[in-house]
Structure 1
Amino acid sequence: MVIILVIGPAVAGFAGRQATLAYVLAGVLFALTLLTRFPLGVIKVVRLPTHGAIECVLALMLIVLPWLADFARGIHSRNFYVLIGALMLFLWFLTDFRGVRDRTAATPAL
C-alpha cells in the first residue's frame, strides 16, 4: 500500500496538495508497519489489533478525504483516494488482526 501511495499521484496524474497528502499517508503507513509487532516490524511497539484499528480508520478517512479536504472536483485525485481507501478496507476485512485463525488451528481436536 505504501508503494501505491508513493507512485499513485504520478500514475494518476495529479500533483500539489493531493499528492503531498498521499506521500504523508505513505510515510504514516510505513512508520506504522515498522512499529508493529509482527514479522515485518522493526521496533515492535504497536500491537497488531491496534495496527488494524488504525488502518481501518485510515481507510475510512481516505474514502471521505476528497470531500473533507475540498479536492473532490479533481477527478483523478478523488478516484485515487476513494479506490485506495476501498482497497485498504477490503484488505482490512481479509486480515486476521487478532490472530484467531492461528489459535484455532493450534488447538487439538477432542
Structure 2
Amino acid sequence: MKVINAKIHGIIDYLVVVFLLAAPSLFGLPPTTALFTYVLGGIHLALTLLTDTDLGLIKVIPFPIHGWIELIVGIALVGAAFYLGGLEGDLARNFYLGFGGAVLLVWALTDYQS
C-alpha cells in the first residue's frame, strides 16, 4: 500500500537531512560514525535538491530513479551498520540498523510513480 506521494516524500527527505546533521550531537555518535552521518546528510540533501518533484530545486533526477537510489542506500545502510558497529560498537550499529530500516520503510510506502 503506497500512502506517501512525491510531495510528502520530499518533506520527509528534508526532515531526514536535518535529522542526519543533528544526529551525531543528539546521540553522541562515535567519530567515524559521526563523519559518515554528516557525509550521508550532505549526499541526501543533494539527492533531494536534484530530484524532479515539487520540492526539488534543480529537478534532474526522475522520482522513480530517486526511489531506486533510496532502496540501494537503505540496503547498504544495514550493511554499514555491521561495519560501523564492528569499528565503534553497539551505538553505531543500532543507529544505522534503525535508520536503514526507516529508509526502507519509507521506500516501501512511497508511490514513486506519483
TM-score by length of 2: 0.80
Tell me the amino acid that sits aligned with residue 15 of structure 1.
P
Point out the more displaced range, 64-73 or 81-90.
64-73
Aligned residues, how many? 99
Q: CA RMSD in A?
A: 1.5
- Aligned counterparts of 1:8 and 1:82: Cα–Cα separation in 2: 14
Number of the residue aligned with 2:59: 44
Deviation at 1:2, TM superposition (A): 1.1
1:64 to 79, 82, 88: 79
Number of the residue aligned with 1:93: 108
Deviation at 1:70, TM superposition (A): 5.8
- Aligned counterparts of 1:70 and 1:79: Cα–Cα separation in 2: 8
Change (3 A) 1:71 1:18: farther
- Contact kept? 1:63, 1:85, Cα under 8 Å: yes
1:23 aligns to 2:38 (yes or no) = yes
Tell me the amino acid that sits aligned with residue 75 of structure 1.
D
Identity %: 37
- Contact kept? 2:85, 2:91, Cα under 8 Å: no
Q: Decide which structure has greater helix share.
A: 2
1:78 aligns to 2:89 (yes or no) = no
What residue ranges of structure 2 are gaps of 5+ in the alignment? 1-15
Number of the residue aligned with 1:9: 24
Large movers: runs of 4+ above 2 Å: 66-73
What residue ranges of structure 1 are gaps of 5+ in the alignment? 100-110
